[in-house]
A and B are shown apart, each in its own frame.
Chain A
Amino acid sequence: MNADAGIRTIAPGIVLNGLCKTYRTPTGPIEAVRSVDLRAERGETIALLGPNGAGKSTTIDILLGLQRPDAGEVAVFGRTPAQAVAEGRIGAMLQTGGLIRDLSVRELVAMMAALYHEPHPVDETLRLAGVSEIADRRTGKLSGGQTQRVRFALALVSDPDLLVLDEPTVGMDVESRHAFWSALRQLAARGRTIVFATHYLDEADTYADRAVLMAHGRVVADGPTTEIKAMVGTRTIRSTLPLVPVAELRELPGVSGAERRGDSVDLVCTDSDAAIKALLVRHPQSRDIEIEAAGLEQAFLQLTGAGEEEIAA
Chain B
Amino acid sequence: MSILTYTRYELTRTFRNRRLVVFSFGFPLVLYVLIAGPNRHEHDLAGSGISAPLYFMVALAAFGTMNSVLGSGGRIAVERTLGWTRQLRITPLPARRYFQVKIVTAYATALLTILMLYVAGAALGVSLSAGSWLAMTAMILVGLVPFAALGVLIGHLVPADSVSPVVGGVTALLALFGGVWYPITGGALHVIAQALPSFWLVQASRVGLGEGGWGVTGWLVVAGWTALAGVAAARAYRRDTERPAA
Contact between A66 and B89, CB atoms less than 8 A apart: yes
Quick check: is A65 within 8 A (CB to CB) of the other chain? yes
Contact between B13 and A103, CB atoms less than 8 A apart: yes
- Contact (A115, B83) CB under 8 Å given A66-B90, A102-B13, A103-B12: no
Contact between B9 and A111, CB atoms less than 8 A apart: yes
Partner of A114, one of B2, B14, B16, B87: B2
Quick check: is B129 within 8 A (CB to CB) of the other chain? no
Q: Which of A85-93, A219-227, A278-286 is found at the contact surface with chain B?
A: A85-93
Quick check: is A200 within 8 A (CB to CB) of the other chain? no
- A31-68 interface mask toward B, CB cutoff 8 Å, 1 = contact, 0 = none? 01000000000000000000000000110010011111
Q: Which of A71-89 contact B (CB under 8 A)?
A: 85-88
Quick check: is A203 within 8 A (CB to CB) of the other chain? no
Chain A interface main SS type: loop
Q: How far is the CA of A90 from the CA of B89 in the complex (A)?
A: 11
Which residues of chain B are near A158, meaning CB under 8 Å?
A: 91
Contact between A32 and B244, CB atoms less than 8 A apart: yes
Q: How far is the CA of A256 from the CA of B83 in the complex (A)?
A: 48
Partner of B244, one of A67, A85, A88: A67
Which residues of chain B are near A88, meaning CB under 8 Å?
A: 91-92
Contact between A87 and B92, CB atoms less than 8 A apart: yes
Partner of A100, one of B84, B91, B92: B84
Which residues of chain B are near A111, meaning CB under 8 Å?
A: 5-6, 9-10
- Contact (A114, B245) CB under 8 Å given A66-B89, A97-B84: no
Contact between B89 and A115, CB atoms less than 8 A apart: no
- A106-148 interface mask toward B, CB cutoff 8 Å, 1 = contact, 0 = none? 0110111011110000000000000000000000000000000
Q: How far is the CA of A160 from the CA of B16 in the complex (A)?
A: 31
In the assembled complex, the CB of A33 is this many whole angstroms from the nearest CB of chain B, namely 11
In the assembled complex, the CB of A259 is this many whole angstroms from the nearest CB of chain B, namely 42
Quick check: is B86 within 8 A (CB to CB) of the other chain? yes
Residue among B17, B93, B244 with the highest chain A CB neighbour number at 10 A: B244
Smallest CB-CB separation from B4: which chain A residue?
A: A114
Which residues of chain B are near A116, meaning CB under 8 Å?
A: 1, 91-92
Which residues of chain B are near A95, meaning CB under 8 Å?
A: 245
Contact between B9 and A115, CB atoms less than 8 A apart: no
Q: How far is the CA of A111 from the CA of B7 in the complex (A)?
A: 8
In the assembled complex, the CB of B92 is this many whole angstroms from the nearest CB of chain A, namely 5
- B189-227 interface mask toward A, CB cutoff 8 Å, 1 = contact, 0 = none? 000000000000000000000000000000000000000
Quick check: is B130 within 8 A (CB to CB) of the other chain? no
Which residues of chain A are near B10, meaning CB under 8 Å?
A: 111
Quick check: is B173 within 8 A (CB to CB) of the other chain? no
Q: How far is the CA of A108 from the CA of B150 in the complex (A)?
A: 28
Smallest CB-CB separation from A81: which chain B residue?
A: B90
Contact between B6 and A98, CB atoms less than 8 A apart: no
Contact between A61 and B245, CB atoms less than 8 A apart: yes
Contact between B83 and A98, CB atoms less than 8 A apart: yes
Quick check: is A154 within 8 A (CB to CB) of the other chain? yes
Q: A86-B92, A99-B82, A111-B10 are in contact. List 11 more A-B contacts (CB 8 A).
A: A66-B89, A66-B90, A68-B242, A92-B90, A94-B90, A95-B245, A97-B87, A98-B84, A102-B14, A107-B12, A107-B13
Chain B interface residues (CB < 8 Å from chain A)? 1-3, 5-6, 9-10, 12-14, 16-17, 79, 82-84, 86-87, 89-93, 242, 244-246
A-B contact pairs, 24 of them (CB 8 A): A57-B245, A58-B244, A85-B89, A87-B92, A88-B91, A91-B90, A94-B83, A94-B87, A94-B245, A95-B245, A97-B82, A97-B84, A97-B86, A98-B82, A99-B84, A100-B79, A100-B82, A100-B84, A101-B13, A102-B13, A102-B14, A107-B12, A114-B3, A116-B91
